[in-house]
Amino acid sequence: MIIQSVIFDMDGVLVDSEEAITLAAMEALTLWGIEASFDDFKPFTGMGENKFIGGVAEKYGKTFEPEMKKKTYEFYIKTAAERVSVYPWAKPVAEGLASRGIQFALASAADCEKVACNLSCIGVEPSSFSAIVTGSDIKYNKPHPQIFLTAAEKADFDPAATLVVEDALSGVQAAKAAGMFCLALTTSFSEGELKSAGADFVLDSLDGIFEIIEGAEKNE
């Protein structure tokens, strides 16, 4: 086992935006007469905003419309500075990987405008990543492996030597379907749920990622 590269999910890994995007979606859906609850969105975590918003809209008998997502992003970006919480490890881990010569990419089911907003919140330049793939770039959402395979192809990563960092069950399943290693964080789901989904490693924070990578090198 060797890990030569890393692919990060965004939400629940580098930033905690679950509350921010959920509140924005709740606010947006009221424009369609939908009074959704916070818990309505939980089953659709990590599946991209079309499903995140659309799944809830369908629950209330409404057909998903692209305008629903547009309005959600307007609310999200307007309130990101107050609502989006950047994990303390986000920037140090990116800098630590760069200093070790380990390339990393970003693969988020969110659309490009949300990803750009979140990177701005973190204070990391998009050019730091070998590739950035968003929900705007793919046809199939997680748990389909397309997003991670696309990121690996764009960044010229070997999938068999790539570590995906995820927080959602659908993301873990997508990483394993892509033939990659998966480190899951307990920011959205429990350790047991993440292991059942197939995670190779489970941590409470990303501070231990370097030990995992170094351990893989020693075991090679």
| Alpha-carbon distances of 23 from 37, 84, 115, 166, 215, rounded to whole Å | 9, 11, 17, 22, 40
What's the whole-model pTM score?
0.87
* Active-site annotation holds for 11: yes
Task: List domains and CATH numbers for the chain.
Answer: 5-16+85-219 (3.40.50.1000), 18-83 (1.10.150)
Q: Write phi, then psi, for 8 (nearest 5 degrees).
A: -95, 135
Q: What is the pLDDT tens value at each position of the chain, 220 positions in all?
A: 799 999 999 999 999 998 999 999 999 999 999 999 999 998 887 677 889 999 999 999 999 999 999 999 999 999 999 999 999 999 999 999 999 999 999 999 888 999 999 999 999 999 999 999 998 899 998 999 999 999 999 999 999 999 999 999 999 999 999 999 999 999 989 999 999 999 999 999 999 999 999 987 666 5
Q: Which amino acid is at 107?
A: A
DSSP codes joined into one string, 44-80 = GTTS-HHHHHHHHHHHTT----HHHHHHHHHHHHHHH
* Active-site annotation holds for 204: no
**Helix (H/G/I), strand (E/B), else coil: 201:** strand
Of the residues 9, 16, 167, 200, only one is catalytic, namely 9
Residue 215: the pLDDT is 85
